[in-house]
Amino acid sequence: MPSDIENKCIKRGLRLTDQRKLIAQVMSESEDHPDVDELHNRVNKIDSKISIATVYRTVKLFEEAGIVAKHDFKGNKARYEQTTEEHHDHLIDINTGEIIEFVNEDIEKLQKQVAEKLGYKLVDHRLELYGSKNKK
């Protein structure tokens, strides 16, 4: 069965190679935010011949097609996740590296307002919170 991402590739007319199908599948199944190395490891468990260059190229292709999102969190290499319908931002646990997604409409609205007030149309934004777990 074609993965979620594979279907999007078809919809966008991307040529579907075995490598792309597999990367699409692995990304679709990933619940976290893997970097390219990690993605490469995961696909290599299934097909050990896929090169890291292909993973880089594919992930970039998917990103440009709006199928996956790239994140450059502080101090780390780029991480990827499947694009979701609903926008969200991230909180990064500075101790464990764990990434928690959150949605906050108020902040979204305020961002737009700030941009407007400065004479700009908000095209994109980046909001990342870095925190450490409260001990109870």
Which residues of this chain interact with a second copy, rule CB under 8 A? 72, 74, 91, 93-94, 100, 102, 104, 106-107, 110-111, 114-116, 118-134
Residue type, 5: I
Nearer to a second copy, 13 or 75 (CB): 75
If 0-12 CB within 10 Å is exposed, 13-18 middle and 19+ buried, where does residue 132 land? exposed
Backbone phi, psi, residue 126, to 5°: -145, 120
The CB-side HSE value for 94 (13 A sphere, CA atoms) comes to: 8
Nearer to a second copy, 1 or 118 (CB): 118
15 binds DNA (CB under 7 A): yes
Instruction: Please report, as ranges, the residues that interact with DNA according to CB under 7 A.
Output: 14-20, 35-36, 49-54, 56-58, 60, 77-78
